């Protein structure tokens, strides 16, 4: 079992421990250092007082994280012209062979290349010290020469940075890289099903879904986007899948180092330029605290609110917040014999497809709200999230209303809903919402997002949802103009005033969308 360690600057007081190590010949077996006479405490103190003042050396104590115990030294010496010599020893024999040398070496090399900005670190190691050579090889050192029984090794900054992805590397994951996409999303601290590979596979916006990734070491920020060609031009724009996506990371965005966030933004802007992107539109996820990250670009717009049921509360507390008409309607539905059941057979999916499609036709919905039967099959059977199909049946076991909810981590999203026209007066969806909230509690879900109004306005749909809960979350979108010159030109060609207050983005797609 390996021990976790940290490094701190070496201090004179460490002599009380380290002088004993100086007198242990096993510590120096493979080194050029070999005391000719016993090292006393006073000698060690004097040596440290002299050594710690040298401007061309950085010396650290290796300490155990669990109790702060000092167990060895690691240092960079002869720091000159962006190069240095590396030295290490574990003085406490109790901790030999426990992987501490490898961790301490990595810590110091990170410091050498990321903080001191050195170009090269070298060392000398005895050819019989095979365990040390193995550690150095793992950390990127390679042999450059031999002298007597010693080997000279060095590691170059560019090679080390590339090995550990410390440059801050950008890469694009496309749909044909299914496992890479899934693996990256699973590494995120927080994510929703709108980030999944499956959901992007199902996107019907006539674009090319991709996952932009910027990472440095263990940290990353990823942004799912859909690249679309702009008609009659050489340019493109980017949008997001229907729903709430936005960026994800392995940490809360506020906990990422400021310089890393800055590099992400620079890298993403370079990516947009390389791809000839004019604008980017993405809906942010109200549960993932993405605003602080995206505000650094500008273009974050408040779009309204979404209604959320807090499933950490009891069903009794939830019902106490219902408007009286809602409570009365749910009781009436139950008394009339309406009930809710979860289903997932091919026949059930076919029924929902017919019911949902009829609902969209009645509402004269845009083409992007229509899906084929295969869409529902894939959506409901993905292993990336937990999607459920539920029906409301009347007393004759006839399905009159259906909905798909999707659970990811502790968030449940009301995704798609449809009600047969002849049953609209009964409002069976009200009973469905309550039963879904009960299901969510059984599954350990904390938040059930009912969504907002049409276009996220506080319209009749929004007011219908507020009947269930007055708990709302702010919802934002990111509307970013990456190339202002071309954007302005495109609006001018369509006689669109750039200062227009029309709530649509990008404006050059307004006429196409209307058509």
Q: What is the 3-class SS of 130-183, one letter each residue?
A: HHHHHHHHHCCCEEEEEECCEEEEEEEHHHHHHHCCCCCEEEEEECCCHHHHHH
With CA atoms as reference, report the closest residue to 308 among 192, 443, 471.
471
Does 431 share its domain with 290? no
Structure-token match 């190691």, residue found: 125
CATH of the domain at 109: 3.40.630.30
Does 255 share its domain with 217? yes
Q: Going by C-beta distance under 8 Å and a sequence separation of 6 or more, which residues neighbour residue 285?
A: 192, 194, 244, 245, 246
Does a structural domain hold residue 285?
A: yes
Structure-token match 């949802």, residue found: 465
Instruction: List the domain range (segments joined by +) for residue 264.
Output: 169-298
Does 324 share its domain with 471? yes
Does 37 share its domain with 146? yes
Question: Packing angle between helix 324-335 and helix 428-442, nearest 10 degrees?
Answer: 90
Cα distance between residue 62 and residue 5, in whole Å: 7
Residue 285 has which token pair?
């996820």
Residue 152 has which token pair?
């000279």
Does a structural domain hold residue 391?
A: yes
Detail the DSSP E strand segments found in 382-471.
386-393, 399-408, 411-419, 447-451
Does a structural domain hold residue 500?
A: no
CATH of the domain at 211: 3.40.630
Domain-terminating residue out of 147, 164, 181: 164
Q: Going by C-beta distance under 8 Å and a sequence separation of 6 or more, which residues neighbour residue 413?
A: 192, 193, 194, 243, 244, 405, 406, 407, 449, 451
Q: Going by C-beta distance under 8 Å and a sequence separation of 6 or more, which residues neighbour residue 55?
A: none
Does a structural domain hold residue 506?
A: no
User: Looking at the whole model, is its pTM more than 0.85?
Assistant: no
pLDDT at residue 514, rounded to an integer: 47
With CA atoms as reference, report the closest residue to 251 among 181, 187, 182, 172.
187
pLDDT at residue 515, rounded to an integer: 44
* SS3 assignment, position 14: helix
Does a structural domain hold residue 483?
A: no
Bridge pairing between strands 219-229 and 236-239: antiparallel
| pLDDT in single tens digits along all 515 residues of the chain | 568 899 999 999 999 999 999 999 888 888 877 777 899 999 999 999 999 989 999 999 999 989 999 999 999 999 999 999 999 999 999 999 999 999 999 999 989 988 898 999 999 999 999 999 999 999 999 999 999 899 999 999 988 887 776 566 788 999 999 999 999 999 999 999 999 999 999 998 889 999 999 988 789 999 999 999 999 999 999 999 999 999 999 999 999 988 789 889 988 999 999 999 999 999 999 999 999 999 999 999 999 999 999 999 999 999 999 999 999 999 999 999 999 999 999 999 999 999 999 999 999 998 889 999 999 999 999 999 999 999 999 999 999 999 999 999 999 999 999 999 999 999 999 999 999 999 999 999 999 999 998 877 888 899 999 999 999 999 999 999 999 999 999 999 999 988 887 889 999 998 755 44
pLDDT at residue 2, rounded to an integer: 67
Domain count, the chain: 3
Cα distance between residue 229 and residue 5, in whole Å: 51
Q: What share of the chain is helix, strand, coil (3-state, %, to 5)?
A: 40, 30, 35
pLDDT at residue 152, rounded to an integer: 96
Alpha-helix residue ranges (DSSP H) falling in 409-481 = 428-442, 460-466
Does a structural domain hold residue 512?
A: no
Does 153 share its domain with 213? no
pLDDT at residue 199, rounded to an integer: 98
Q: Residue 402 in contact with residue 415, Cβ under 8 Å?
A: no
Q: Going by C-beta distance under 8 Å and a sequence separation of 6 or more, which residues neighbour residue 274?
A: none
Residue 228 has which token pair?
């679309």
Cα distance between residue 364 and residue 82, in whole Å: 67
> Which stretch of DSSP H or E encloses residue 213?
strand 208-216
With CA atoms as reference, report the closest residue to 397 among 343, 451, 317, 469.
343
State the distance between the two ends of the chain, measured CA to CA, in whole angstroms: 65
Does 145 share its domain with 194? no
Does 47 share its domain with 84? yes
Does 292 share its domain with 331? no
Residue 12 has which token pair?
């004179």
pLDDT at residue 37, rounded to an integer: 85
Cα distance between residue 438 and residue 331, in whole Å: 16
Count of CB atoms situated within 10 Å of the CB of 164: 18
């Amino acid at each position: 079992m390996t021990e976790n360690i940290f490094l701190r600057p070496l201090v004179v007081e460490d002599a009380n421990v380290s002088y004993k190590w100086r007198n242990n010949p096993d510590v120096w077996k493979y080194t050029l250092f070999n005391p000719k006479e016993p090292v006393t405490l006073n000698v060690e103190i004097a040596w440290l007082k002299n050594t710690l003042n040298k401007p061309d050396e950085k010396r650290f104590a290796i300490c155990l994280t669990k109790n702060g115990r000092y167990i060895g030294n690691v240092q960079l010496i002869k720091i000159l012209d962006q190069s240095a010599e590396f030295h290490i020893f574990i003085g406490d024999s109790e901790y030999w062979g426990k992987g501490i040398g490898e961790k301490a070496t990595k810590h110091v090399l990170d410091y050498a290349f990321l903080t001191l900005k050195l170009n090269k670190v070298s060392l000398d190691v005895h050819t019989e010290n095979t365990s040390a050579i193995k550690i150095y090889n793992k950390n990127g050192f390679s042999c450059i020469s031999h002298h007597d029984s010693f080997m000279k090794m060095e590691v170059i900054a560019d090679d080390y940075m590339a090995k550990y992805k410390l440059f801050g590397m950008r890469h694009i994951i496309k749909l044909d890289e299914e496992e890479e996409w899934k693996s990256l999303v699973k590494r995120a601290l927080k994510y929703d099903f709108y980030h999944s590979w499956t959901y992007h596979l199902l996107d019907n916006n006539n674009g090319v879904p991709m996952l932009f990734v910027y990472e440095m070491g263990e940290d990353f920020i990823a942004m799912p986007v859909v690249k679309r060609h702009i008609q009659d031009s050489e340019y493109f724009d980017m949008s997001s899948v229907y729903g709430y996506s936005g960026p994800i990371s392995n940490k809360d965005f506020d906990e990422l180092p400021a310089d890393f966030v800055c590099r992400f933004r620079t890298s993403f802007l370079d990516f947009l330029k390389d791809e000839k992107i004019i604008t980017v539109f993405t809906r942010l996820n109200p549960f993932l605290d993405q605003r602080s990250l995206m505000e650094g670009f500008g273009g974050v717009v408040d779009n309204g609110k979404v209604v959320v049921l807090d499933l950490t509360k009891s069903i009794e507390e939830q019902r106490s917040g219902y408007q009286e008409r809602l409570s009365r309607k749910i009781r009436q539905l139950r008394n009339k014999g309406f009930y809710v059941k979860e289903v997932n057979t091919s026949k059930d999916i076919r029924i929902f497809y017919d019911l949902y499609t009829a609902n969209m036709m009645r509402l004269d919905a845009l083409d992007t709200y229509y899906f084929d039967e295969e869409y529902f099959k894939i959506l409901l059977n993905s292993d990336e999230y937990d999607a459920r199909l539920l029906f409301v049946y009347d007393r004759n076991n006839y399905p009159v209303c259906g909905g798909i909810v999707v659970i990811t981590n502790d968030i449940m999203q009301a995704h798609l809903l449809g009600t047969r026209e002849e049953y609209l007066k009964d409002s069976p969806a009200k009973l469905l919402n309550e039963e879904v909230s009960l299901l969510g509690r059984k599954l350990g879900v904390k938040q059930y997002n009912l969504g907002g109004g049409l276009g996220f306005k506080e319209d009749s749909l929004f007011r219908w949802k507020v009947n269930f809960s007055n708990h709302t979350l702010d919802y934002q979108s990111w509307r970013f103009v990456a190339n202002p010159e071309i954007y302005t030109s495109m609006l001018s060609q369509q006689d669109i005033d750039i200062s227009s207050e029309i709530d649509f983005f990008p404006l050059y797609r307004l006429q196409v969308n209307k058509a």
